[in-house]
Every structure is written in structure tokens, then in C-alpha cells.
Amino acid sequence: MRYNRLENAGIDISALTVGTWAIGGTTVSGRSWGKVDKNESIKAIQAMIANGVNCIDTAPIYGSGNSEIVVGEAIKHCRDKVILATKFGSFESAYKNRAIRDSRYDTVIRNCEESLQRLGTDYLDIYIQHWPDPDTPIEETMAALNKLKEDGKIRFIGVSNYTQDMMEEAMRYARIDVMQKPFSMVNQTERKLMEWSAQHGIGVMSYGSLGAGILTGTIRELPNFDEKDYRMTFYDFYREPKFSKIMELLKTMDKISIERNKPLAQIAVNWSTQQNFISTSMVGVLNLAEANENCAAYSWSLTDDEIKLLDRELERLGLVE
């Protein structure tokens, strides 16, 4: 496993982070990533830890709290070996059939206590605002995080899906240790902000590293996902014209796969984590086989020529914005 330094936090983090959105299962509003087996999820998380992964990312909105419960069970006997990150300020309302944003002071304090209970721990390593709350001043949210830090409930502060202006404002009230944004070969829209964050000592955690699974190469024909499947509601990879462009990209990845005898998923995560501004990439796992395959990616690296080949193909296909 490779490790990178989170400068502001002063800790080392594995280049791979366990992403746990999918293992949460179905939310109260009926959204999901498909079928999930709890026992398989626990085995997958524990296997990644055994392979040197030291960070797990979860959130109360993942499966309406179920993801945190599963993670808590998985790390029950190895809590001291992981950097545990969870989020706050976002939940799905079955009544309104949409996500609700709430990062008011009292809500943040309450959300933290609820997450601590579900995770079975008395502190969180990284506490992350999941989405900006347009109705709550950033100063108020940061005040709650500083209070939790002062009380020993959290160690480090993170923000997710912030703009640069929002991050600069947050930095007026608190030390921001990490940020999260989507990043993969097929989604580089936040590259500049990620580079800016790294320059300011803020650890960069990327999500969507496998493009909602499309970069694994397991899907080669336009799928017919359920309308509430997150792969259709949160991402645009499985819609035309992007889908056909990505299928062309997979052909180039296939060539590297054959030459190196490595699966496409490992090519994708290596491309992401070999970017010098990425501290760690979150990759979701559902079973033991996926866990072992993801971790094996860090036993080798793409060459400079292979990265250039992929970058040229991305440019040619118009997949770089």
C-alpha cells in the first residue's frame, strides 16, 4: 500500500480509502446501488484493512444510517488501526423524496452524537460537512466543528462539495484538514480546486474513482438500471453520448490491461492516485474479491507513457472538460 501525508492534519493516509456508500443498502426514499450482503461487506472492509488501507469513509445518509452501523461492526476490534471519516448535514427525506441539507450548530452536534453511537466509537478522526447548506452561515457550521474538536469528539475537520469561495470562507473560522470532490478519468471537472487545496495543505480525498463502476469494464452495453439506482440519479456516465465515449476509452484501457495483465479497475485507481494532488481515492467495495483486487492495484504503477496514452485518449474523446 502507498501512503501520503495529510499536511494540515499531520497524519499519513493510505492512497486507497474504503468507500461505503453502496454497502448502506436502500435508503428511506428507496434509492440504492442494488443488492448488498452485510456479512460480505464486513469481510470486504476487514480485508482492505488487512491489506494496509487505513482510512474508511462513510456517512449517515448512506442507507439511512446503515452504512455507519456496518462499518462500526467491521472495525469493532481494530478501531485504533483506522482513520475513521464520516459526514454530517445531509439526509434523505422519504416524505419529500429528496436530500435535505441542514448544518446548523445544534444539528451538527446532534448528528455527531448519533454517528458516534452507530459507529460504536467515542471519537471520529475526520468529520466532514457532506454538502453546503445554503440556509446556514459557514461560520455557524465551523463553530460547531470547533466545539466538537475542543470536546475531543473529532480530530480533524473536512468539507465536501464546497467551491473555492466556500473553502476560503471556512478557513477564516477553522482549520480545514481535508476536502472531498469527485475525480476520475471520466470526471476531471474539479481538478483545479483539488490542486489549489493541495497547495494549501488540505488533504484531497477523491470519490467516484471508478466512475460509478463504469471504469471496471464489467458493463459494455447501455444498462437498464432501476430509475432509483444511484448510477442513474447521481452520475451521467450511463447516459449517451458519454456512455459511448467511455466505451471507446475502455478499448485503450483494455490494451494496457492485456500488456500488463492487470484488471481495468486497477488501471483506473492508479491513474487517479498517481496524480500528485490526490491524497487518497475512495473506492467502494461490496465483497472480498473486490477488496483484494482494489488493494492489489497498489503493488504496481502506471508508467508515464501509459498515463500520457490515457490522457491523449481522454482529450480525443472530449472527456476532459
Catalytic residues: 62
The CA radius of gyration of the chain, in Å to the nearest whole number, is: 19
C-alpha 76/C-alpha 105 separation (Å) is 29
Task: Name every residue whose Cβ is closer than 8 Å to that of residue 203 and which is 6 or more positions away in sequence.
Answer: 4, 6, 7, 8, 9, 13, 177, 178, 179, 279, 280
C-alpha 77/C-alpha 81 separation (Å) is 9
Q: How many CB atoms lie within 10 A of CB 134?
A: 7
Secondary structure (3-state) at 36: coil
- Which CA distances in Å does 95 have to 29, 131, 132? 8, 20, 21
What's the N-to-C CA distance of the chain in angstroms? 31
Q: How many residues does the chain have?
A: 321
Cβ(208)–Cβ(17) under 8 Å?
Answer: no
C-alpha 154/C-alpha 149 separation (Å) is 5
State the burial class of residue 266 (Cβ atoms within 10 Å of its Cβ: 0-12, 13-18, 19+). Answer: buried
C-alpha 33/C-alpha 24 separation (Å) is 9
Cell numbers placing 214? 463504469
Pairing type for strands 154-160 and 124-129 reads: parallel
